[in-house]
């Protein structure tokens, strides 16, 4: 197997792929470079405490009103996970579109998580009325759910070691973790994991993008979005999001239906689904 480059903590961002038909050059590996921090808060449930923020003259309305926005965000996401893991909120921006939001562990243990939001993309209306923003929130939550310290353990490994535990960018997945079971079920089909692993080793960004695009096109029926083909981490976060926002499939005739049904085997995830969807009532 091929070397995986493990870098410092970077945001697992959600690129605004929803708005375009082509893959963005900014993969999750090198996306942090263009992000500017406008303010940072420590998070305790739905309460925020300022850690730092830009001087008043640069202060956007969002920085001033972040409490109100956070309350809305906190309200729609399952509390047991938010309370346990999400301890920081950061306003990050690269201007309109591209990065809408992102999450990253606060250190290598993956115990606590930082939620990053781009104020340039925050909807003006209630967030629950904005489909793209809701999709992004649920997607980012999916990363916290699947990459926290109960799912992944820190690892020095730079290679995929063996076939029974998938090596994520954050560490080695436990055998029974959601992401490991997901990879076992969906990424060994058609040697996807090996082909994808080789692509990770391509240094030239343009060539890497060409190859990942081709990988997506060759496996199109297996992915909900082009962005999902970026990595198993993105695939499970996208599939999770579709699981939340779509009806339960009537059969398992397609790989996408199988991916939705994957989540129904876990009672706690079905519970979280109804928790999230209760915003519609």
Q: Cα 82 to the chain's mean position, in Å?
A: 14
Print the binding letters for residues 217-246 with Zn ion: x by CB under 5 A, - otherwise: -----------------x--x---------
Name the β-bridge partners of 3: 159
137 binds Zn ion (CB under 5 A): no
Least separation in angstroms between CB 3 and Zn ion: 22
**Pick 53 or 227: Cβ nearer Zn ion:** 227
Number of other CB atoms surrounding residue 277 within 10 Å: 12
How many residues bind to Zn ion according to rule CB under 5 A? 4
169 interacts with Zn ion by CB under 5 A: no
- CA dist., res. 135 & res. 75, Å (int): 15
How far is CA 36 from each of CA 56, 83, 114, 115, 120, rounded to the nearest angstrom? 16, 26, 15, 14, 12
Question: In the complex, what is the shortest distance from the CB of residue 169 to Zn ion, in angstroms, rounded to a whole number?
Answer: 11
Closest CA to 187 of 231, 244, 247, 138: 231
Q: Which is nearer to Zn ion, 78 or 232 (CB)?
A: 232
Q: Is 176 left (phi over 0), alpha (psi -120 to 50) or beta?
A: alpha
Q: Which is nearer to Zn ion, 48 or 183 (CB)?
A: 183
Q: Smallest distance from the beta carbon of 143 to Zn ion, in angstroms? A: 6
- Show the site string, 41-80: x = touches Zn ion by CB under 5 A, - = not: ----------------------------------------
Query: Counting contacts by CB under 5 A, is residue 144 touching Zn ion?
Result: no
- Helix count (H) and strand count (E) of the chain? 10, 8
Residues within the interface to Zn ion (CB under 5 A):
12, 14, 234, 237
């Amino acid at each position: 197997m091929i070397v995986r480059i493990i870098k410092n903590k970077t945001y697992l961002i959600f690129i605004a792929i929803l708005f375009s038909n082509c893959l963005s050059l900014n993969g999750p590996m090198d996306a942090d470079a263009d992000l500017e921090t406008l303010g940072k808060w420590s998070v305790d449930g739905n309460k925020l405490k300022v850690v730092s923020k830009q001087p008043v003259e640069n202060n956007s309305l969002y920085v001033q009103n972040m409490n109100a926005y956070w309350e809305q965000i906190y309200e729609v996401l399952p509390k047991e996970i938010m309370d346990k893991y999400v301890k920081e909120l950061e306003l990050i921006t690269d201007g309109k579109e591209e990065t809408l939001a992102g999450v990253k562990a606060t250190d290598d243990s993956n115990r606590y998580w930082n939620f990053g939001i781009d104020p340039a993309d925050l909807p003006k209306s209630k967030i629950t009325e904005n489909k793209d923003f809701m999709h992004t929130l649920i997607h980012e939550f999916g990363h916290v759910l699947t990459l926290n310290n109960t799912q992944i353990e820190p690892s020095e490994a730079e290679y995929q070691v063996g076939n029974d535990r998938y090596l994520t960018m954050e560490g080695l997945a436990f055998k029974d973790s959601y992401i490991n079971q997901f990879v076992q079920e969906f990424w060994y089909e058609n040697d996807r994991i090996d082909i994808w692993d080789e692509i990770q080793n391509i240094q030239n960004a343009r060539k890497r993008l060409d190859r990942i695009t081709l990988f997506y096109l060759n496996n199109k029926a297996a992915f909900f979005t082009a962005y999902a083909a970026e990595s198993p981490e993105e695939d499970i976060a996208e599939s999770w999001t579709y699981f939340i926002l779509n009806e339960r499939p009537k059969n398992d005739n397609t790989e996408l239906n199988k991916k939705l049904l994957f989540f129904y085997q876990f009672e706690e995830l079905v519970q979280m689904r109804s928790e999230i969807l209760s915003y519609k009532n």
